[in-house]
C-alpha cells in the first residue's frame, strides 16, 4: 500500500454534521429575526404614511419613531453581527409595537389585525415551545386589556364581537402554528438522529467496531493540527497480522473474522482512552498515540504484539496468531501525514521481512 501516494490526497477538516445542523437552525432563527425586523419596519412605515395622510400627526409621528427604532436595530444587528440575543431584541421590539397598536388601535382601528403576524413570527424566533409560552402570555395579556373594564391606556374602541373573535383567532392560530412547528421539529430531530447514525456507520468498521480508515484519517489530521499548535509528540503504529491468508485458508473465513474481532479487542483494551485504534485495511490496524514518542510507541507495540500472540492459546484450533508492527513518531513541522504513515508502513514491512511477529521502531 503506497501511503506516500495516499497522503497526497487532501482531507477536509472534519465538522460534525449534527452540530452543523444545529448551527444552521440557529442561523435560520437569526435570519428569521432579520426578516421580522424588515416586515415590522414595512408595516409600521406604511401605517405611519396612512396616518399622516389621514391627518393624525401624533400617530404618524409615533409610528415613524417606532420605525426608526426598528431600522436602527436592524442596522445595529448587521453592524455588530447577529448573536443568540438577536431574537430576544427583535421579540422585545415586536412586543412594544404590538402593545402600542393594541392600545392605540393604530390606523382606523386596524392595529390589532397585524397582531396575528406575531404568531408565526414568535414561533419562528423561539421555536414551538418557548414561542407558544410567549404567545400564550401575549394572548392572556391581550384578553386582559380587551376585557378588563376601562383598562387604563386603552384608547381604541373594539366592539365585543371583534374582541372575542380576535382572541379565538389568535389562540387557534397559535395552536396550529405550534403543532406545525413541533412536527417540523420532530422531523428535524429524526434527521439529526439518522445523520448521527449514518456518521457512526461511516466512521466505524462493521466487523470489529473499530474506527475505520476514513475516521483514522480524520483523527490523524486532527492530531497533527493539535500538535502543530502545542508542539507535542505523537506516534503511530501500523500492525499487520502475520500469515493471515494461511489462517483463513486453513481454518475458514469465519474463523478469520473471529480472529480479527479478538485482535481488535486486544488492541482496544490494551491502549488508553486517548489513543485511537482503527482497522486500517483487511488485516491491518493503525493505532494513533497522542503524547507518545517513538520509544513509548515501541514499548506499547511490543506489549500489544505479546498479547496478540497470547491469543493463539485461546482457540481449540492449533493456530499461531501474531502481528508485526512498524512504529513512527510524528514530526510537528511536517506538512501532512504522508511521511509518517509511509515510515510506519515501511518499518512494518521490515518487521515482516525480518521474520514477522516483531516490532520495528527505528
Ligand atoms: N477473514 C477475513 N479475512 C480477511 C479480511 N480482510 C482481509 N482478509 C484476508 O487477509 C489476508 C491477507 O493476506 P496477505 O496480504 O497475503 O498477508 P498475510 O497472509 O497476512 O501475510 P503477511 O502479511 O506477509 O504476514 C487475505 O487472505 C485476505 O483475504 C476479513 O475481513 N476477514
Q: Which of 205, 238, 245 has most ligand 1 atoms within 8 Å of its beta carbon, as the pocket-test mutant?
A: 245
For ligand 1, residues with CB inside 6 Å are 207, 240-246, 248, 253, 256-257, 260, 282-283, 352, 356
Residue nearest atom 7 of ligand 1, based on CA coordinates: 282
Q: Domain ranges for the chain, please list them.
A: 17-198, 213-360
- Looking from the CA of 106 toward its CB, the CA atoms found within 13 Å total 22
Atom of ligand 1 lying closest to residue 240 CA: 23
Phi-psi region of 325 (alpha: psi -120 to 50; beta: other; left: phi over 0): beta
Contacts of 180 (CB under 8 A, 6+ apart): none
Q: How far apart are CA 325 and CA 349, in angstroms?
A: 8
Q: Which residues of the chain have pLDDT under 70?
A: 1-18, 82, 230-231, 332-336
Atom of ligand 1 lying closest to residue 257 CA: 1
* pLDDT for the residue 198: 87
Compute, in angstroms, the gap from residue 254 CA to the centroid of ligand 1.
13
Compute, in angstroms, the gap from residue 292 CA to the centroid of ligand 1.
29
Atom of ligand 1 lying closest to residue 256 CA: 1
Residue nearest atom 6 of ligand 1, based on CA coordinates: 282
* pLDDT for the residue 14: 52
Compute, in angstroms, the gap from residue 275 CA to the centroid of ligand 1.
25
* pLDDT for the residue 335: 66
Q: Which of 215, 224, 283, 284 is catalytic?
A: 283
What are the grid coordinates assigned to 115, written together? 397582531
Torsion angle defined by CA atoms of residues 67, 70, 75 and 79, in that order, rounded to the nearest 10 degrees: 160
Atom of ligand 1 lying closest to residue 255 CA: 1
Q: How far apart are CA 127 and CA 91, in angstroms?
A: 12
* pLDDT for the residue 143: 93
Torsion angles phi and psi, residue 155, rounded to 5: -95, -30
pLDDT tens for each residue of 101-151: 888 887 778 778 777 888 988 888 888 899 999 999 999 999 999 999 889
Compute, in angstroms, the gap from residue 287 CA to the centroid of ligand 1.
19
What DSSP character marks residue 9? S
Contact 175, 144 (CB under 8 A): no
Work out the angle at residue 270's Cα, subtended by the Cα atoms of residues 267 and 275, and round it to the nearest 5 degrees.
80
* pLDDT for the residue 199: 82
Q: How far apart are CA 265 and CA 262, in angstroms?
A: 5
* pLDDT for the residue 2: 37
Q: How far apart are CA 273 and CA 224, in angstroms?
A: 18
What DSSP character marks residue 211? B
Q: Which of 248, 249, 280, 305 has most ligand 1 atoms within 8 Å of its beta carbon, as the pocket-test mutant?
A: 248
Compute, in angstroms, the gap from residue 1 CA to the centroid of ligand 1.
14
β-strand partners of 230: none
323-329 and 359-360 beta bridge pairing: parallel
Q: Which residue in 237, 226, 346 sits closest to 289, CA to CA?
A: 237
Examine the residue annotation and report whether 283 is marked as an active-site residue of this protein. yes
* pLDDT for the residue 33: 78
Helix axis angle, 213-230 to 160-203, nearest 10°: 100
Other beta carbons less than 10 A from residue 311's beta carbon: 18
Compute, in angstroms, the gap from residue 294 CA to the centroid of ligand 1.
27
Q: How far apart are the first and last CA of the chain?
A: 20
Query: Domain 213-360 belongs to what topology?
Result: Alpha-Beta Plaits (3.30.70)
Enclosing H/E stretch for 240:
strand 234-241
284-290 and 323-329 beta bridge pairing: unpaired
Atom of ligand 1 lying closest to residue 259 CA: 1
Residue nearest atom 5 of ligand 1, based on CA coordinates: 282
Amino acid at each position: 500500500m503506497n501511503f506516500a501516494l495516499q497522503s497526497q490526497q487532501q482531507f477536509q477538516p472534519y465538522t460534525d454534521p449534527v452540530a452543523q445542523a444545529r448551527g444552521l437552525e440557529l442561523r435560520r432563527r437569526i435570519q428569521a429575526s432579520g426578516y421580522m425586523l424588515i416586515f415590522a419596519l414595512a408595516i409600521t412605515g406604511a401605517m405611519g404614511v396612512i396616518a399622516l395622510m389621514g391627518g393624525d400627526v401624533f400617530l404618524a409621528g409615533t409610528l415613524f419613531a417606532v420605525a426608526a427604532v426598528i431600522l436602527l436595530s436592524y442596522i445595529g444587528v448587521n453592524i455588530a453581527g447577529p448573536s443568540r440575543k438577536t431574537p430576544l431584541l427583535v421579540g422585545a421590539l415586536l412586543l412594544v409595537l404590538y402593545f402600542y397598536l393594541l392600545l392605540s388601535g393604530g390606523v382606523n382601528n386596524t392595529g390589532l389585525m397585524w397582531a396575528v403576524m406575531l404568531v408565526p413570527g414568535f414561533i419562528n424566533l423561539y421555536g414551538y415551545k418557548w414561542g407558544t409560552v410567549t404567545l400564550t402570555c401575549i394572548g392572556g395579556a391581550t384578553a386582559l386589556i380587551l376585557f378588563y373594564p376601562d383598562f387604563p391606556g386603552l384608547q381604541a374602541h373594539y366592539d365585543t364581537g371583534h374582541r372575542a373573535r380576535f382572541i379565538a383567532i389568535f389562540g387557534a392560530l397559535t395552536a396550529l402554528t405550534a403543532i406545525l412547528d413541533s412536527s417540523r421539529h420532530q422531523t428535524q430531530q429524526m434527521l439529526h438522529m439518522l445523520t448521527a447514525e449514518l456518521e457512526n456507520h461511516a466512521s466505524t468498521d462493521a466487523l470489529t467496531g473499530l474506527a475505520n480508515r476514513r475516521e483514522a484519517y480524520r483523527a490523524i489530521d486532527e492530531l497533527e493540527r493539535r500538535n502543530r499548535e502545542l508542539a507535542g509528540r505523537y506516534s503511530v503504529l501500523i500492525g499487520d497480522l502475520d500469515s493471515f491468508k494461511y489462517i483463513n485458508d486453513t481454518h475458514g473465513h469465519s474463523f478469520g473474522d473471529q480472529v480479527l474481532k479478538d485482535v481488535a479487542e486486544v488492541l482496544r483494551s490494551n491502549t488508553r482512552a486517548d489513543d485511537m485504534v482503527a482497522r486500517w485495511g483487511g488485516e491491518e490496524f493503525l493505532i494513533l498515540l497522542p503524547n507518545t514518542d517513538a520509544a513509548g510507541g515501541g514499548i506499547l507495540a511490543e506489549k500489544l504484539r505479546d498479547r496478540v500472540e497470547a491469543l493463539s492459546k485461546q482457540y481449540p484450533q492449533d493456530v499461531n496468531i501474531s502481528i508485526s508492527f512498524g512504529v513512527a513518531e510524528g514530526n510537528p513541522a511536517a506538512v501532512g501525514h504522508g511521511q509518517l504513515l509511509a515510515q510506519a508502513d515501511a518499518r512494518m514491512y521490515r518487521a515482516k521481512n525480518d521474520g514477522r511477529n516483531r516490532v520495528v521502531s527505528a
